[in-house]
Chains A and B, each alone.
Chain A
Amino acid sequence: MSMGNGIVALGFRTDLRFRSTLLDMAGSIMDTHARLHENISALADGELAASELELAFAALDTPAGRLAWDAYQHIGHALRSAPSDGELSAGFEARLASRLAGETAHQSEAGQAATTPLEAGFLPQR
């Protein structure tokens, strides 16, 4: 390889390293941004650890943090105001009662092995 080609190759590698560093920095800024907004999200839910509170307040002092907070409040309000209030059709209770009537009472099944796998699985013990 000639010296000229070597210089070009070196410049190319340097350029790649520079770009890589820039991408790393951008990624790091994005990560920090996301972490701060995740703190704001947890703060909105009252689930933020005390140790993270100062950082969240600092993030709320920025326009982006304020905008995120406002957006989260709007989202919560909109979801809670949605018309779906869980109303069931008139025949629901009768249909369910009819199916439940066909189920055997638990007492009479005592001692039998479970044959139906639990849909929920076993919940972790507290």
Chain B
Amino acid sequence: MLPGASGVRTERESDQLLVERVQAGDKRAFDVLVSKYQRRLMRLVSRLVHDTAEAEDVVQETFIKAYRALRHFRGDAAFYTWLYRIGINTAKNYLVTQGRRTPTASDTDAEQAESFDDGHRLRDNNTPESVLASKQIAATVNAAMDVLPIELRTAIVLREIEGLSYEEISEIMACPIGTVRSRIFRAREVIAEKLKPLLDMPIDKRW
């Protein structure tokens, strides 16, 4: 039986059908693709461009570029792989035009990470220590993420947040799988180094 003949299609096949409809002139099919991927794209882009309004501009620009370029899309890769690649390149170009190699709007997370030295404020909330530990770890991780080189940050976001395979990430980032593996590892090592003081001590000694 042919794939999809039973009426059950994979996500990729389903996207490809929509793409073909757009290519045939049906703009409503592109609206469906936008609706399907806008949040996932925003989640990715907002890790690269921290200001929400700017990230939205990048997402919008990504969809416009994708629409214009869709005539070239042949389905050799999954649509979302192709879309993410446009999104990442658009975000990088945006940061370059803004004169920012890395976003500077990381103050919130950085401040959060620093403020965790003021443990008494947290203890006043009577929050369980394990919850506080998680918050401290999250703040440290996010602060470390913000200063990672964009290639490392992109790789670990695609893996940990989007759950993509090394192969999919290598397609999106246009690099060999070995490079993906190395970038994810290097990102983890940089973040782990920042986490080390927290993980080395017992939970009740972290504040």
Contacts and interface: CB of A to CB of B under 8 A. Distances in A.
B90 A119 contact: yes
B160 to A, nearest CB: 4
Interface string B152-181: 000011011100011000010010000001
A87 B156 CA distance: 21
A105 B25 contact: yes
Nearest to B38: A88
Nearest to B139: A78
Interface in B64-89: 64-65, 67-72, 76-77, 81-82, 85-86, 89
Secondary structure call for the A interface: helix
A54 interface: no
Secondary structure call for the B interface: helix
A119 to B, nearest CB: 5
Instruction: Give the contact-size bracket for chain B.
Output: 35 or more
A106 B188 contact: no
Contacts of B166: 45, 47
Contacts of A67: 196, 199-200
A123 B73 CA distance: 9
Interface string A32-45: 00100110011001
Interface stretch (A10-18, A19-27, A68-76): A68-76
A77 B56 CA distance: 25
Interface of A: 34, 37-38, 41-42, 45, 47, 67-68, 70-72, 74-82, 84-89, 92-93, 95-97, 99-100, 103, 105-109, 114, 116, 118-126
